[in-house]
């Protein structure tokens, strides 16, 4: 009799305990509401904190959810929000928020390959095409996105190609490596130009870092265009801890509070960028130096509703929903076998990947350590040198948007023992002694300079 009682869920006392929930053994029926309650509680907190500059209390707030198709956290976040809205409507209650989903497709090979085939006069016909009509080849993200649309029929999904980053005015393209002039008089496709820029970066970490920053810029702009009140990111406790150490290791420790804390972020607007990578028309505001720093900016509150949940809890949640979310998560299919394999070399892994693997292992045995990293980061203060106060040219980083601290950057370089001659020499892209590159580096913070120029 005692054994039967011990096997019951500690919450409902009726169903068999099937899952470990922190210090409790609970059943499936109690596990799912725990995840939902933790998430919705964070949503209610952000609603109270954003009413001051958001919509009137009588109106529903509009959230832009950043989704990575196949990602456990962002998929779980979308599921919780969608289910909460559905319950409000079923009960006849006033819907407190609307959800819009944005997906940044980082697959540049599809876009570039399609243009190359079109230039050659041969299109790509999708399966099921009629009358031999040629259409562009679809990326894995687009294919998987169809499954999300079927699973969440009332949600608006917007796909944003990563190549659209070339149209951003929140990035100083003149600060990034220049591309060699192309022999062809025909301008390259945006995807090919961006792929060429990423290929010129010195390491896997650099490419992953720049892609992540460009993705955040695109999401902020998408939130503004969709007239959303808040941008929601699917980072959980484990991924926030990994992001904290990754940003610090990349030399961007100053920007950690803006990367992992909840609150408003502001990206400065750069105008008149004359870099050929962007390949856009000249701006009327262009000054003699080819670029100006506008006083306008893109601002939006950014929140992480899953910041109090571990990744392993979200993995369990995706298998308990009705219907389960696991068909949308092909990465979980081989997770057990892949995690069992030892990593022989880290040369092809970025710092972000290494930190993700590390905290994934720490989470299994020492979840309190992971939580303490996030709690400690949450206590860091956002100092005044931020993008929100950057109104003068050169006062903010041209890539990540954080405030520049020239004295701090030079002091950090000195502590690392990096000689000045090394900075004026070869920057990792074979562009030694280039005055244009030196000017570009002056527009970047220490962390972004290391990512871009090595």
Q: Is the dihedral of CA 281, 139, 177, 297 positive or negative?
A: positive
Q: Which two tokens stand for residue 172?
A: 């100083």
Beta bridge pairs of residue 97 = 61
- The per-residue pLDDT for 39 is 97
Residues 176 and 273: beta-carbon distance below 8 Å? no
Residues whose CB is less than 8 angstroms from the CB of residue 10 and which lie 6 or more positions away in sequence, other chains included: 17, 24, 25, 26
Report the predicted TM-score, pTM, of the whole model to 2 decimal places.
Answer: 0.84
- The per-residue pLDDT for 391 is 39
| Residue 196: burial class (beta carbons within 10 Å; 0-12, 13-18, 19+) | middle
- The per-residue pLDDT for 295 is 42
Residues 236 and 359: beta-carbon distance below 8 Å? no
**DSSP letters for 228-287:** -SEEE----HHHHHHHHHHHHHTT-GGGHHHHHS-EEEEEEEEE----TTT--PPPTT--
**For every one of its 454 residues, what pLDDT tens digit does the chain have, with 9 covering 90 and above?**
444 556 899 999 999 999 988 888 999 999 999 999 999 999 999 998 877 655 555 578 999 999 999 999 999 999 999 999 999 999 998 899 999 999 999 998 866 555 444 444 333 333 344 444 445 678 888 999 999 999 999 899 999 999 999 999 999 998 888 754 444 444 578 889 999 999 999 999 999 999 999 999 999 999 999 999 999 999 999 999 999 999 999 988 888 999 999 999 989 888 755 455 554 433 333 333 445 544 445 789 999 999 999 999 999 999 999 999 999 999 887 554 444 445 556 667 899 999 999 999 999 999 999 999 999 999 998 875 444 344 344 578 899 988 877 776 666 666 655 544 444 444 444 444 455 556 667 788 889 998 998 8
Q: Which domains does the chain have, with CATH numbers?
A: 59-406 (3.40.50.620)
Compute the CA torsion angle 38, 39, 44, 49 (nearest 10 deg): 110
- In whole angstroms, give the CA distance from residue 206 to residue 411: 22
Helix (H, G, I), strand (E, B) or coil at 426: coil
Half-sphere exposure (Cβ direction) of 250: Cα atoms closer than 13 Å: 33
- The per-residue pLDDT for 128 is 40
- The per-residue pLDDT for 112 is 56
47 φ/ψ sector (left φ>0, alpha ψ -120 to 50, else beta):
alpha
């Amino acid at each position: 009799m005692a054994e039967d009682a011990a096997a019951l869920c500690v919450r409902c006392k009726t169903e068999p305990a099937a899952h470990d929930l922190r210090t409790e053994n609970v059943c499936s029926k109690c596990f799912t509401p725990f995840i939902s309650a933790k998430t919705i509680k964070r949503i209610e907190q952000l609603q109270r904190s954003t009413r001051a500059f958001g919509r009137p209390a009588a109106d529903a707030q509009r959230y832009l959810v950043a989704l990575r198709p196949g990602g456990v956290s962002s998929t779980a976040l979308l599921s919780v929000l969608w289910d909460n809205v559905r319950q409000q409507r079923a009960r006849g209650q006033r819907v407190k928020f609307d959800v819009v989903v944005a997906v940044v497709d980082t697959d540049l090979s599809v876009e570039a390959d399609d243009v190359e085939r079109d230039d050659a006069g041969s299109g790509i016909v999708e399966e099921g095409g009629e009358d031999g009509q040629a259409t562009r080849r679809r990326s894995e993200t687009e294919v998987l996105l169809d499954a999300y649309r079927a699973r969440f029929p009332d949600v608006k999904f917007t796909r944003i190609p990563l190549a659209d980053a070339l149209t951003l005015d929140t990035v100083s393209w003149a600060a990034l490596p220049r591309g060699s002039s192309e022999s062809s008089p025909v301008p390259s496709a945006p995807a090919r130009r961006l792929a060429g820029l990423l290929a010129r970066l010195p390491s896997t970490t650099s490419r992953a870092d720049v892609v992540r920053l460009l993705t955040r810029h695109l999401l902020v702009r998408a939130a503004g265009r969709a007239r959303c009140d808040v941008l929601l990111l699917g980072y959980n406790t484990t991924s926030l801890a990994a992001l904290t150490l990754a940003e610090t290791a990349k030399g961007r420790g100053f920007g950690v509070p803006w990367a992992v804390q909840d609150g408003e972020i502001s990206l400065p607007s750069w105008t008149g960028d004359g870099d050929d990578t962007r390949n856009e028309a000249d701006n009327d505001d262009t000054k003699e130096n080819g670029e100006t720093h506008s006083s306008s900016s893109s601002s939006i509150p950014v929140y992480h509703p899953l910041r109090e949940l571990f990744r392993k809890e979200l993995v369990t949640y995706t298998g308990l929903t009705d219907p389960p979310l696991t068909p949308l998560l092909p990465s979980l299919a081989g997770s057990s076998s892949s995690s069992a394999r030892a990593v022989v070399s880290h040369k092809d892994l970025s710092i972000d990947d290494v930190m993700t693997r590390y905290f994934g292992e720490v989470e299994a045995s020492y979840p309190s350590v992971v939580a303490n990293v996030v709690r400690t980061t949450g206590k860091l203060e956002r100092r005044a040198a931020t993008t929100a106060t950057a109104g003068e040219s050169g006062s903010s980083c041209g890539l990540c948007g954080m405030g520049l601290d020239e004295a701090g950057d030079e002091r950090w370089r000195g502590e690392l023992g990096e000689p000045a001659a090394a900075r004026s020499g070869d920057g990792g892209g074979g562009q030694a002694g280039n005055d244009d590159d030196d000017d570009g580096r002056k527009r970047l913070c220490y962390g972004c300079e290391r990512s871009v120029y090595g």
